[in-house]
Structure 1
Amino acid sequence: MATSQRRRPGRPAGRSDTRERILASARQLFARNGIHKTSVRAVAAAAGVDPALVHHYYGTKERLFAAAVRIPIDPMQIIGPLREAPVEELGYTLLSTLLPIWDSEMGAGLIATLRSILAGSEVNLLRSFIQEVIAVEVGSRVDNPPGSGIIRIQFVASQLMGVVMARYILELEPFKSLPAEQITRTIAPNVQRYLTGEVPEWPAP
């Protein structure tokens, strides 16, 4: 005789299905509302689960975001060193953190994810990550004169996207084969200038 089993609240049957519904809900809410305006509670409600289950599977909201956009790395691996580095070393710290990750086996997954995002409909997610996470974590430290932090971060993003394009997508030689440390030391001063040097005035929005 079949017996019914009581389930804990917020734990629908099918672990894989539940996780996919959480990710689908997170992806939709992050794209629509941005990262800061999307709470774990809102994601849980959209997925029909208890918020504790979202934390159980993904831990922090940053890890949930990484899973939602299929980034195979905890964003805190990048944000952590940037929080601790002196402002005058941010350019070098950023590149010396990113390039070894991009050059690793994990980096292949990151580049594939980036290709997918840029070619698909999830570019809003990448924009949110740059403007709501990186700009907040780093831009607030280099916001001098006031209001310049966001444009500084966007200049840095343009430089980093150029590195990704030349080294990993177009695979231009000899740039592709240069040691990561050589690229870091060559480009870091320019990135640091974007972060702490003079920036041109631009029209107020």
Structure 2
Amino acid sequence: MTVSRRTPGRRPGGPDTRGEILRAARESFADKGFAATSIRAVARQAGVDAALVHHYFGSKDELFIEAMALPLDPRVVAARILDGTREDLGRRIVAVFLGVWESDEGQQRMKAMLRSVVTSDEVARLMREGMTRMILEPVSQFLEPPDAKLRVGLIASHMIGVALTRYVVELEPVAAADLETLVDRISPAIQQYVTG
């Protein structure tokens, strides 16, 4: 008769290991915030090796995106915004941002995220830290002025205001305007933050 002996150490990945990692990540992000959460700490809390977290998620950014159930990958958004010149950056920002909201699924998920952000300090802090790292910082680095972070913050404020007006409050005629008209009207104001 062969007796199986369990070796000491962390357990290997099981059927719900991925879910346990996500649960641990959500708790860590909520308790400590984005910056203070580490892959090792999440792995320790989930009872797995850090290599397994990397296997499932690749990086802390990807773990954050999945754990927070973001409706979009902020790194993809940043790449699309930065794909071009500074002279048409304002138009790209508006087109990409509003494009995320335009599909039914995108709008539903963005509304849910926006409502969570405005009703929970913890969610707001997490989104602020995560979005700053994955979108606002790369866009700030793309700009030349010394006050680039302020400019990008003002752009974000402007675009969040547009989203609230069009998709949440549904104020007319902004809510009924076609996307191209909105992009045409809003882009010069956003470009002014970039180059003005």
Q: Is TM-score (shorter-chain normalized) higher than 0.5?
A: yes
> Displacement, 1:171?
1.1
Q: Please, which runs of 5 or more residues in structure 2 have no aligned partner? A: none
TM-superposition CA deviations, 1:9-51 (whole Å, max 9, x none): 5535441xx3343223323444555545544334323322223
Distance 1:93 1:4, change over 3 A: farther
- For 1:137-176, list aligned pairs within 5 A: 137-145=138-146, 148-176=147-175
> Displacement, 1:72?
2.4
Supply the distance in 1 between the matched residues of 2:162 and 2:5 (Cα, whole angstroms): 54
Give every structure 1 segment of 4 or more consecutive aligned residues whose post-TM-superposition deviation is greater than 4 Å. Answer: 3-10, 31-34
Query: What number of residue pairs does the alignment pair up?
Result: 191
| Partner in structure 1 of residue 183 of structure 2 | 184
Distance 1:195 1:119, change over 3 A: same
> Displacement, 1:185?
1.5
| Identity %, equivalent residues | 36
**Higher mean C-alpha displacement, 92-101 vs 55-64:** 55-64
Supply the distance in 2 between the matched residues of 1:195 and 1:38 (Cα, whole angstroms): 32
User: What is the TM-score with the length of structure 2 in the denominator?
Assistant: 0.82
Q: Contact 1:10–1:49 at 8 Å: present in 2 too?
A: yes
Q: Contact 1:35–1:132 at 8 Å: present in 2 too?
A: no
- For 1:7-156, list aligned pairs within 5 A: 10-15=11-16, 18-31=17-30, 34-107=33-106, 108-120=108-120, 121-145=122-146, 148-156=147-155
> Displacement, 1:156?
0.7
Supply the distance in 2 between the matched residues of 1:85 and 1:164 (Cα, whole angstroms): 24
Q: Contact 1:11–1:49 at 8 Å: present in 2 too?
A: yes
Which amino acid in 1 is paired with 2:134? Answer: V
Instruction: Describe the SS at the equivalent of 1:178.
Output: coil
User: What is the TM-score with the length of structure 1 in the denominator?
Assistant: 0.79
Distance 1:48 1:99, change over 3 A: same
**Higher mean C-alpha displacement, 176-185 vs 130-139:** 130-139
Which amino acid in 2 is paired with 1:116? Answer: S
